[in-house]
Amino acid sequence: MTTQYDADVIVVGSGAVGSNAAYELLKQGKSVIVLESGRWIPRWKIVENFRSSPRKGNHNDPYPNQPWAPTSFSPDYIENTGSFKFLPGMLRLVGGTTWHWAAATWRFLPNDMKLRTLYGVGRDWPISYDELEPYYGRAEFNLGVAGSDTQDQSGQGGAGQFPHRSTPYPVPPEAETYYFQRIKARLAPEGFNFIHEPNARTNQPWDGRPGCSGNNNCMPVCPIGAMYSGDVHAKHVVKMGGKVIEDATVYKLEKGSDGKIVAAHYRTSDHKDIRLTARYFIIAANGLETPKLLLMSDVANSSDQVGRNIMDHTGMGLQFLADEPLWPGRGQVQQGGIFNWRDGEFRREHSAIKHALTNTVPNRAITQHLLSQGIVGPELDEKIKDWAARWVDISSVFELLPNPENRIQPSATRKDALGIPTMTVHYNTDDYIERGAVKAKADYAKFVQTMGGTVINDNTGWQNRDHIMGTVIMGNDAKTSVVDKDCRAWDHSNLFMATTGVIPACGVVNPTLTGVAFAIRAADIIAKEV
Amino acid sequence: MRFTKKGLSRRQVLATSLTLPALGSLPGFARAAGLVTLSQFHDLCGTLTGKSGLNLEISNRILTALTALDSSFPQKVGSLISAMKTYGLKDMSDFKQFAEQNANQAPVAMSIISAWYLGYTGTPLMDATPAVGHPVDDATFVTYVGALMYAPTADTTVIPSYSRGHTNYWVNPPASQSAG
């Protein structure tokens, strides 16, 4: 008797990573159902929510936050038990959290993938840059990435393209902002290597998206859709005959007698429970919800590594006033930065570091600061104008090492409105990034000095960066990792993870492009087997 | 108070001699400071921000939002107006000295100025965890494009989410500044 399935493949999660996996499977003729806990929301509603919100610095605020599909900022959704308040801004809607990101789409370096071998710390990736390279190219094409084909992205000041590419960036880099040009002109002679940030914010028409026109609102929402978000491919999935089921929170993966996964169970907001079957399952529910679902289902965890090794690019920041007008806030919210500490022998001793130049319109931060000092009247207007011209905002990230004690677990005591456990996170920073922080602060002093600056804040403390890695860690050994280099669960041959959570050494670059590249690669493998 | 699509006109306000909704229930305040009309509050906003031609609807939103936060706000407004009159504060360049001599009234003035500049009242929370010493998110939206913090840079940067440029316009400094 032939077994009947609801689909060849079920994808849990409709974000950038899951939607790209579904899209690639549909291209290869497979039937796909995508299950999404949130709903479809049109862009204009999110833009209006943003414009009429009193909390414009809260990037989750314009997005739906339902008791049956809570965002990570829903009160008590994430209970922290460690010394650091780990609280990334994760969303629940079709398209996922790439609705609010700054669309940084870097490739990791070959050396990032050999951290243990080269520098004796952390873990190696079980896959080489060369193996992943073609999939990086396909991911960049899907997202319409704008980038430079001629820069040494390792930040070591090399003369030409690095790492090597088999295909050019699909979109050329946008023009440098005046702000970026001036800071580079003054700091580069001091030995700081500036790199353009490849980004999925197209500057020419691409896949139905317009070119960026500098609305300066990548976070929390691009009002014109120039910046890529996962709903682009969720829409493609529907057009190609795939199914995206909204209001479908998966709470259980069902194991069969042969060790394979046989069904996904989801619950709707009106508490209907539905069971769907498929030949293969891809879990693409972000770096926190994915391990939570595995742990709730008691699957894929023979290594006891599910949910462990959380790595964010825990960071810090610097704000100062330069001695010349730089006019930040014109163009996109970020464009690159300083990468001297991206790679080198120093990684034996301390974390890699990225210093990114933030280019947001600074009026709100400045005005809040001035009002707190009691400045009013004509002086207030004058100072807003003057400071807004000279404001420099640096956002730094650090490479945390995988630590099994840093972990996410389903809450033992709390549940959401569907009766599904919320989550508990235990997260501590480590000496590796503390030693990196010493180097970063020395850089900060040099930036300020060289720019003739006046410090506003150079001691922010550790901050969330919302780059979740390590939680379904990839490796060569089933005893110490959750998935193999294909993103396949060691314990279940038809279960794959499509999330940045697979990344085993986090470098300093934003991980989403790598998550998409791995997802495309996994889709190719699944398509051959289904 | 609800606005029609056209909103309140100054003429309507004056014609109806509108009083603060919360004020009617505060006879003590009425005795102490007399009836404060929206028109008077609007004039106060003009003095505190140093601007003429402020949007009356925004004044009304601020008044409503700050009264919702603190039911004694209208009384405090009355006291502030009296104190400013006594001091003779007409130019905000003198505000620092006024604030030093009127410690109780200055925070009321700052709450009004803050609402006009930032476009909201109260304290917004940036994430799920209450701010230290401020456990409740009591923020209320007042205005976005009307927030006065954007006016000083109107010729150089956009109000985020709006665009007046085109791709790559950002390669140059603002046209209004480049000549200098």
**How far out from the chain centre does Cα B108 lie?**
11
The amino acid present at B178, given as its one-letter code, is S
For every one of its 180 residues, what pLDDT tens digit does chain B have, with 9 covering 90 and above?
Answer: 333 344 444 444 444 334 444 443 433 333 334 457 899 999 999 999 999 999 999 999 999 999 999 999 999 999 999 999 999 998 899 999 999 999 999 999 999 999 999 999 998 876 544 444 455 789 999 999 999 999 999 999 999 999 988 999 999 999 887 644
A211 CB neighbours in chain B (<8 A) are: 167
In a mutational test of the A interface, the residue from B161, B169, B171 whose CB has the highest number of chain A CBs within 10 Å is: B161
- Non-local (6+) Cβ contacts of A8 within 8 A are A25, A30, A31, A32, A278, A279, A280, A530
Does the CA dihedral A470-A475-A478-A482 come out positive or negative? positive
Among chain A residues, the shortest Cα distance to B119 is held by A54
A330 CB neighbours in chain B (<8 A) are: 156-158, 165, 169-170, 174
Among partner residues B137, B161, B166, which is closest to A51 by beta-carbon distance?
A: B161
For every one of its 530 residues, what pLDDT tens digit does chain A have, with 9 covering 90 and above?
Answer: 678 999 999 999 999 999 999 999 999 999 999 999 999 999 999 999 999 999 999 999 999 999 999 999 988 899 999 999 999 999 999 999 999 999 999 999 999 999 999 999 999 999 999 999 999 999 999 999 999 999 999 999 999 999 999 999 999 999 999 999 999 999 999 999 999 999 999 999 999 999 999 999 999 999 999 999 999 999 999 999 999 999 999 999 999 999 999 999 999 999 999 999 999 999 999 999 999 999 999 999 999 999 999 999 999 999 999 999 999 999 999 999 999 999 999 999 999 999 999 999 999 999 999 999 999 999 999 999 999 999 999 999 999 999 999 999 999 999 999 999 999 999 999 999 999 999 999 999 999 999 999 999 999 899 999 999 999 999 999 999 999 999 999 999 999 999 999 999 999 999 999 999 999 999 999 999 99
Among partner residues A76, A367, A377, which is closest to B50 by beta-carbon distance?
A: A377
Counting one residue from A and one from B, how many pairs have CB atoms under 8 Å apart? 172
- Non-local (6+) Cβ contacts of A88 within 8 A are A72, A288, A312, A464, A465, A466, A467, A468
Alpha-carbon distance A33 to nearest alpha carbon in chain B (angstroms): 32
CB of B132 within 8 Å of a chain A CB? The answer is: no
Taking residue A216's Cβ as centre, other Cβ atoms within 10 Å add up to 26
B144 CB neighbours in chain A (<8 A) are: 51-52
Strands A7-12 and A32-35: parallel
Whether A196 is a known active-site residue: answer no
A213 CB neighbours in chain B (<8 A) are: 163, 165-167, 169
Contact (CB<8Å) A377/B139: no
Phi-psi region of A259 (alpha: psi -120 to 50; beta: other; left: phi over 0): left
Among chain A residues, the shortest Cα distance to B172 is held by A178
CB of A391 within 8 Å of a chain B CB? The answer is: no
Alpha-carbon distance A133 to nearest alpha carbon in chain B (angstroms): 30
Residue A494: name the closest of A453, A459, A526 by CA: A526
Using a cut of 0.90, tell me whether the model's pTM lies above it.
yes
d(CA B36, CA B53): 20
Among partner residues B96, B152, B161, which is closest to A385 by beta-carbon distance?
A: B152
